[in-house]
Structure 1
Amino acid sequence: MRADNDNEQLPRSRAEAKAAGVNRYFTGEPCKHGHIAPRYVTAGCCECTILRAQARYWSDPEAKKEYDRQRYLDDPEAVASRAGKWKLENPEKMEECRKKWREANPEKHRDSQREWALRNPEKVQANIRSRRARKRGAEGHHTEADIEAILVRQKYKCAECGTSVKRRTSRQVDHIMPLKLGGSNWPSNLQILCTTCNKVKAAKHPLDFALERGRLI
């Protein structure tokens, strides 16, 4: 294990680390197991400490879970910060962990998916529209925030008949130029219609729909 620049900034001895009030030091020399790594003032080689912790975890995972739980209770913000940093730095490992958890807990995974869908109906619908767009090879994407911006711009009224669409169940997102006719999935091609107008419009060309409604001669 090679030293990095951060290690070179550490005190060079245990005594210097204690005097400086820090919990690690770096001698540049290998420990008795051959690790060239920082050392804890109270626990020795950091690499050996990690390996011992991993061995304890696999031999007694319940004890490790209880230890982690207590650390979280003692300082939840610090634990959350470290976890967030690790997730950002290790996206592939994080995805592998998620995959293993899903495979080991299929029922819990389905329940969590259902709960998430109930809490985030607009995100669910945005994902559905994105899948439809990808299947048709349409360009563009949009988010829940984009839909909210369109609602504000339309003053929470149907773009066609002007009825209120404040209730989520009373509105639907419409592709102005339908995907099947080459329309995009960008926010600029979206409008909010009441459920009735959206059913009537369906996948019609916007000009044909306007003529049908008597708005063009």
Structure 2
Amino acid sequence: MIRGGDAYRSGHRRRAKQYGAAGSFDRWDVMLRFDRQKGRCHYCGEVLELVGRNKFQVDHFIPLSRGGANAMNNIVCACPGCNRAKGSKFPWDFRPARFDVGCGRDD
């Protein structure tokens, strides 16, 4: 179970409102995404931690600042390193190899 869910949701809601992004998600949506990703970072494939200093982070696949929605279909779970490095980049600019044909991203 994810603890502190209200903390990250309130931050995402505040930023979504700032950018005028539609949608919302809750901790159950995050856990569904975590399970769908088999507990691995969406970008690098590293095993994600549920607690501790390197706990996974919720990332907007299409950044809110670039027109992305604040909805479940636009969130992924990422390791802190990838989430920080990606910042407000589009995912195909951050990790272009993840979008090559046959890369296995949809497995």
Shorter-chain TM-score tier = 0.7 to 0.9
Match of 1:208 in 2: 93
* Structure 2: distance between partners of 1:190 and 1:209: 16
* Structure 2: distance between partners of 1:215 and 1:131: 30
Identity of counterpart residues, as a percentage?
33
1:156 and 2:36 equivalent?
no
In the alignment of these two chains, the number of paired residues is 97
Once the two structures are superposed, the pairs formed by residues 78-97 of structure 1 within 5 Å of their partners are none
Q: Give the number of the structure with larger relative contact order, counting CA–CA contacts within 8 Å between residues 6 or more apart.
A: 2
* Structure 2: distance between partners of 1:190 and 1:139: 13
Match of 1:105 in 2: none
Once the two structures are superposed, the pairs formed by residues 1-217 of structure 1 within 5 Å of their partners are 120-168=3-51, 169-211=54-96, 214-216=97-99
Please identify which structure carries the higher helix content: 1
Q: Give structure 2 stretches of 5+ with no counterpart.
A: 101-107
Shift of 1:124: 1.3
> Are 2:92 and 2:98, in contact at CA under 8 Å, matched by a contact in 1?
no
> Are 2:43 and 2:95, in contact at CA under 8 Å, matched by a contact in 1?
no
* Structure 1: distance between partners of 2:86 and 2:49: 20
Shift of 1:171: 0.8
Shift of the 120–210 alpha-carbon distance from structure 1 to 2, 3 Å rule, reads closer
| TM-score of the superposed pair, with normalisation by structure 2 | 0.81
Match of 2:104 in 1: none
What is the DSSP-based 3-state SS (H/G/I as helix, E as strand, rest coil) of the residue aligned with 1:131? Answer: helix
Structure number with greater Rg is 1
What is the DSSP-based 3-state SS (H/G/I as helix, E as strand, rest coil) of the residue aligned with 1:125? Answer: helix
| CA-atom RMSD in angstroms | 1.8
Shift of 1:156: 1.0
Q: Give structure 1 stretches of 5+ with no counterpart.
A: 1-118
Deviation track 1:36-83 (CA, whole Å, cap 9, x = no partner) reads xxxxxxxxxxxxxxxxxxxxxxxxxxxxxxxxxxxxxxxxxxxxxxxx
| TM-score of the superposed pair, with normalisation by structure 1 | 0.42
The 4+ residue runs of structure 1 with deviation greater than 6 A are none
Deviation track 1:12-50 (CA, whole Å, cap 9, x = no partner) reads xxxxxxxxxxxxxxxxxxxxxxxxxxxxxxxxxxxxxxx
Shift of the 145–176 alpha-carbon distance from structure 1 to 2, 3 Å rule, reads same
